[in-house]
Amino acid sequence: MKKAFAIILCLAFVFSFAACGEKVQPEETAPASSEAESESVPASQESETLPTYSVEDNYTLGTLVTVNGETPFVINGLRLDGNRSATENNGKPYATEGIRSGFFLDERIGFYIDTPYSNPDSEDAKVLCLPHRPFDNYKNIPFDELAEEAAFCETFTGQEEPDFPCFDPYVFSEEFGEGDYDVLFTYQGEIVYYIVINLTPEIA
């Protein structure tokens, strides 16, 4: 009897030791995937799409606004031609309305001014281009400050040849961005006419 009890006790000890030696493997759980990860993002939404501009986008029409028509620098009509966009629309008649006013940045803009004013020895008449703002904002700004801020500032001494521009400046894209610009015609520091033009980047 004692011998049978010893055998049973020994077997119980062996089974107990085997149970302690087994390692319990943790149950693996799959990582939860969010809806954002499960949904694919279209390529067009991953990066910002750059705008493109065609020739038609550069044929905006503007109006020459008279501020003071009583100075010697009287403008009867204006023509603006570009050298890189919508060139088929160059050479239009002088006008005060329906003037081409859309161009590219860095594009040379040819100015043709119908005026009796001519004074080769004077710097009284100037043409400036500045980023657009309400016209009343110009009233308290000295001319020298406007000239310093301007994208270009040209002296007008007269339209010597009707078939050639009196000057053909451009707005440098590394210093100025796209948008509306005011072209100011001044006489002795006073704004006498202006026209709003629109400039866009040229993208190949």
pLDDT given for residue 107 in this prediction? 95
Question: What is the DSSP secondary-structure string of 77-143?
Answer: EEEEEESSSSGGGTTPPPBSSSEE-EEETT--EEEEEE-S---TT---EEEEEEE---GGGGTTS-H
pLDDT at 57: 53
The single residue listed with the structure tokens 């020459």 is 64
Q: Which pLDDT belongs to residue 69?
A: 95
Pairwise CA distance, residues 64 & 76, whole Å = 10
Query: How many CB atoms neighbour CB 96 within 10 A?
Result: 17
| Total number of residues shown for the chain | 204
Please state the pTM of the whole predicted model: 0.72
Structure tokens at 32: 């939860």
pLDDT of residue 144: 96
Give the pLDDT confidence of 77-107 residue by residue, as tens digits. 999 999 987 777 788 999 999 999 999 999 9
**CB 93: neighbour CB atoms within 10 A?**
8
* pLDDT at 161 (0 to 100): 86
Q: Which two tokens stand for residue 18?
A: 């085997």
Burial degree of 67 (CB within 10 A; 0-12, 13-18, 19+): middle
pLDDT on residue 54: 45
- The answer to whether 156 touches 166, Cβ cutoff 8 Å, is yes
Along the chain (204 residues), what's the average pLDDT of each consecutive run of 10 residues? 48 46 47 46 40 53 96 97 82 93 94 95 96 94 96 94 92 96 97 96 77
What residues does each domain of the chain span? 55-200
What is the predicted pLDDT for the residue at 72? 96
